Amino acid sequence: MADATYFYGLGRRKCAVARVRLLQGDGRVTVNGKPVADYFGRGALEAIVRQPLVEAALPTPFTVVVKVVGGGHAGQAGAIRHGIARALVRMDEGMRPAMRRKGFLTRDPRVKERKKYGLKRARKAPQYTKR
C-alpha cells in the first residue's frame, strides 16, 4: 500500500464524470454528500456502485467519497464503478487482473449518437409516403 491519506480514481461513463476518493474508514459510500442509497434510490444502481468493493473483498473497510457530475443516474453509477475500480488498482496493483476480468477498468465508449439533419433523431427518418 502506498503512503497516502486517500486513493483517487476518475471514472467516466456516457456524459458522467465521477471523482472518487478511497479512505480508511467504516465502509460508507457517499455520493455528492448523500449516502449512496439516498442518492440513487434504486437497489440495482447501488449494487453497480458496490461491485468493485465486493470483488476486491478488502480485509479492512474503506470509506468512499464521490463527487459526480453530468449524465443520468445509470451513467453516473457506471462512472462511479469505474472510478472506484481505478482507485482500488492505484491502492493495490495486484487487484488489476480481477478488476480487468470483470470489466470494471474498461471505459465504456458508448455515447449518444448525434442527430442528423433531415431525420427526426440520429437514425429515425420521417414516415415515407408514396403519394
pTM of the model: 0.89
Q: What percent of the chain has pLDDT over 90?
A: 88
Residue 3 banded pLDDT, cuts 50, 70, 90:
low
Q: For position 80, what pLDDT does the model report?
A: 97
Q: Classify residue 117: in a domain, yes or no.
A: no
Q: Classify residue 51: in a domain, yes or no.
A: yes
Q: Classify residue 109: in a domain, yes or no.
A: no
Identify the CATH number of the domain in which residue 42 sits: 3.30.230.10
Cα dihedral value 71, 77, 78, 83, nearest 10 = 100
What's the pLDDT tens digit per position in 81-128?
Answer: 999 999 999 999 999 999 999 999 999 999 999 999 999 999 999 999
Q: Classify residue 82: in a domain, yes or no.
A: yes
- Other beta carbons within 10 Å of 19: 17
Q: Classify residue 60: in a domain, yes or no.
A: yes
Q: Classify residue 131: in a domain, yes or no.
A: no
When divided into structural domains, the chain yields a total of: 1
Residue 78 banded pLDDT, cuts 50, 70, 90:
very high
Task: Decide: 99 and 34 in contact? Cβ < 8 Å.
Answer: no
Structural domain that includes position 52: 7-102
- Which of 58 and 16 is assigned the larger pLDDT? 16
- The length of the chain is 131
Q: Classify residue 116: in a domain, yes or no.
A: no
Q: Classify residue 115: in a domain, yes or no.
A: no
Long-range contacts of 39-44 (CB under 8 A, 24+ apart): 40/73, 40/77, 42/73
